[in-house]
Amino acid sequence: MVDIRYSTGKEAFSRMNTEELRKEFLVKDIFRADDISCVYSHIDRIVVLGAMPVSKSVDLQKNIDPMKDFGVDYLLQRRELGIINIGGNGKVIADGKSFDIIHFDGLYIGAGTKSVQFTSDDPANPAKFYMTSAPAHCTYPTKHIKFAESKHVPAGKAEDSNLRTINQYIHPDVLDTCQLSMGLTHLEPGSVWNTMPAHTHERRMEVYFYFEIPENQVVFHFMGEPSETRHIVMQNDEAVINPSWSIHSGAGTSNYTFIWAMCGENRTYTDQDWLNTADLR
């Protein structure tokens, strides 16, 4: 079953209480044993998925009716797909071609791919394939992005509590896509802030997926207009959908890791409208 989320504007957002914010923007239960989760957002038509094969192979279209839910014969008929494995080693089989996707490896699958399956090498340590998908106007080649081959960009400073490395996987400097961008940011011990100073980017939306949050710790994810921010408390392995007009930043009670995914009409990573931290409200 596909969970459908509709677009929320600034005015409605400003009146939402905690429960309403979580219902509209928080994505939970992403990984279920031998299953596929799927959340379809009307914000730039991004789709957030999770696959955790344990005892058997799992098909991308499990729990999805392509014609009913997407108006197509198969899910990727007019879509591209990005994958990052945050669990044990596993395999992705795309139209019969198998890719060994070990921990922190990524995979880009181009539009027109009819069949995608997922398996784990060890049921005791299953793979956890986190995925996002965006509409695609043409087909780019499917590509395995090993963690070592992603672009590693140091950022932040320890004295600002945001020393981190931005690992760019599905990114214009790494490979061509229609509109999807995706990467992984790791915060060093003692650092808790991400994406600060904050920014917006009017020409694309973004989804943050938080993981490696230690037990009994949380991340406070900040969103909303810069002049009227709200927060959502994030647990491990949860994602949050951010409209283009919203900031997207977080602070944890410990360091953590998160995957960012963007889609929209501009793929330029530096196309950002930076904000003065002191101006946030």
Of 192, 278, 208, the C-alpha closest to 246 is 208
Residues of the chain with pLDDT > 90, as a percent, come to 89
Task: Reply yes or no on whether the pLDDT at 268 is more than 80.
Answer: no
Mean per-residue pLDDT, 203-232: 96
Beta pairing class for 97-101 and 90-94: antiparallel
Task: Reply yes or no on whether the pLDDT at 266 is more than 80.
Answer: no
Strands in 219-225's sheet, in edge-to-edge order, are 193-194, 247-252, 219-225, 228-234
| pLDDT in the model for residue 202 | 85
| pLDDT in the model for residue 273 | 83
Residues of the chain with pLDDT > 70, as a percent, come to 100
- Mean pLDDT value across the chain: 96
Mean per-residue pLDDT, 260-279: 85
| pLDDT in the model for residue 274 | 84
Mean per-residue pLDDT, 238-254: 97
Mean per-residue pLDDT, 83-108: 98
Task: Reply yes or no on whether the pLDDT at 269 is more than 80.
Answer: no
| pLDDT in the model for residue 265 | 84
Give the residue with greater pLDDT, 196 vs 154.
154
- At residue 75 the predicted structure's pLDDT band, cuts being 50, 70 and 90, is very high
User: What tokens appear for 265 in the block?
Assistant: 């009409």
Distance of CA 245 to the CA centre of its chain: 18
| pLDDT in the model for residue 139 | 98
Q: Which positions ≥6 away from 260 have C-beta within 8 Å?
A: 181, 182, 183, 184, 185, 206, 207, 208, 209
Beta pairing class for 151-155 and 90-94: unpaired
Count CB neighbours of 168 within 10 A. 21
Task: Reply yes or no on whether the pLDDT at 181 is more than 90.
Answer: yes
